[in-house]
Homo-oligomer: A and B are copies of this chain.
Amino acid sequence: MPAAAASTLPEPAAPAFSPLYQQIKSLLVRSLQGGEWAPGQVIPSEVELAARFRVSQGTVRKAIDELATENVLVRRQGKGTFVATHAEQSTQFRFLRLTPDDGSAPALRRRLLDCRRMRAPPEVARRLGLKTGEAAVQVRRLLLAAAAGDEPRPVVLDDLWLPGPQFKGLTAERLQAWQGPLYRLFEAEFAVHMIRAEEKIRAVAAAADEAELLAVPAGAPLLLVERLSYT
């Protein structure tokens, strides 16, 4: 079939021109987000997907290729293509990889400290594109790393600000009960899908309250990671 066949296909709600394989990629992502294929599970074979979408195997392959290089999917020769599971693991730092000095990979535990609804401070309002005085939700969490045999040690203080209007029903109880990654909750309950994030890194001295929570002396050097996520 000639390449021109692309224009004879129905284009499923594609706003503008985009390569077929990009459209396929979007459809795959949508299925992944929709939970059609669970993490760790196989997705249909390339030929199956090609048949489903009415494109050639090569086009499906290119879409899968990109998702594989993005570590969203994992290919295993002879077995199939699987939904990546390590991306789910480290909810935190999906974009910045966090490793202990010795290179080991301890188990991370989360502890919810706080979840309050309040008027957004000016700085936060600006970053989130809220009007000053509009509601925002502040979530504070502590991440504890437990090396083998050691007791958990606090390593990350997570300060999260969410735009109030889009997170109406979010309460401490809801958060407390949720076990999986936060962004999964956001997707499931609030239809909020994170697409992209910018991170800035600074070195700061620990403030008194931060020092106490992290069990370090006040003034100890800390990494401040400022992450702004877009939906």
Which residues on A are within 8 Å of B, measured CB to CB? 69, 99, 101, 200-205, 219-224
Residues in B with CB closer than 8 Å to A69 are 69
Q: Is the CB of A203 within 8 A of B219?
A: no
Partner of A203, one of B99, B101, B200, B223: B223
With both beta carbons as reference points, the residue of chain B lying nearest to A224 in the complex is identified as: B203
Q: Which of B99, B101, B203 contacts A222 (CB 8 A)?
A: B203
Q: Which residue on B lies nearest to A69, using beta carbons?
A: B69
- Count of this chain's copies in the oligomeric assembly: 2
When A and B form their complex, which 5 residue pairs have the shortest distance between CB atoms, in order from nearest?
A: A203-B221, A221-B221, A203-B203, A203-B223, A205-B221
Q: Is the CB of B221 within 8 A of A201?
A: no
- Secondary structure dominating the interface of A: strand
A224 surroundings in chain B (CB, below 8 A)? 203
Nearest-neighbor residue (CB-CB) of A62 within chain B: B65
**For A205, what are the chain B residues with a Cβ–Cβ distance below 8 Å?**
220-221
Cα distance A205–B204 when bound, in Å?
A: 9
19 contacts between A and B (CB under 8 A): A69-B69, A99-B200, A101-B202, A201-B201, A201-B223, A202-B223, A203-B203, A203-B204, A203-B221, A203-B222, A203-B223, A203-B224, A204-B221, A205-B220, A205-B221, A219-B219, A221-B221, A221-B222, A223-B223
Residue of B nearest to A219 (CB): B219
Within the assembled complex, what's the spacing in Å between the Cα atoms of A204 and B101?
13
Cα distance, A36 to B208, chains bound together (Å): 58
Measured CA separation A69–B69 after assembly (Å): 9
A63 to B53, CA, bound (A): 28
A220 contacts which chain B residues (CB < 8 A)? 205
Inter-chain CA distance A101–B204, complex, in Å, is: 13
A157 to B124 CA separation, bound complex (whole angstroms)? 32
